[in-house]
Amino acid sequence: MGSHCAHDHADDGKSPDEIDRALLAAEGRCLEDGERMTGPRRRVLELLLGAGEPVKAYDLIARFGTDGQAAKPPTVYRALEFLERQGMVHRIASISAYVACTGGDPSHAAAFLICDCCGATQEVHPARGDSFARAAEAAGYAIERTTIEGHGRCPACRVVV
């Protein structure tokens, strides 16, 4: 994403130590589930954790190689699909971008507040996420993922008009 505003925004990207801890936790979750955290999956998650904002797939492809070499698109898309299925990343459909999950439970309902001015995005935990899942279950549905998106202006953009 990019800032379209004249004001500064805080970078929510994780520090190198936080990224390392998050990657170790993700690897542990994979092992518990009988899955593997392959090199490409790890690299894509690392890029998303360090970004601090939603990242489009083609930007991940361009940033993938540590030597400046872009990845092949199927490599990144397969990694994103796996990470999303495992609840480690979320796809924000309205902006066609991905973000590392900040929630601990892989099956939680994800909700995002997206600033239409600067592109800042924040994951929040909706109070009604559980009631939606219960309503779906009562209707016979088995929901695998829920993502709610709310567009508007962040606190910084609300004061700059």
| HEC secondary structure over 80-145 | HHHHHHCCCEEEEHHHCEEEECCCCCCCCCEEEEEECCCCCEEEECCCCHHHHHHHHHHCCCCCCC
Q: What is the pLDDT of residues 10-69, one digit of tens each?
A: 566 788 999 999 999 999 999 999 999 999 999 999 999 999 889 999 999 999 987 777
pTM of this structure: 0.83
Angle, vertex CA 129, rays to CA 37 and CA 32, nearest 5? 25
pLDDT band at 102 (very low <50, low <70, confident <90, very high): confident
More confident residue, 33 or 161: 33
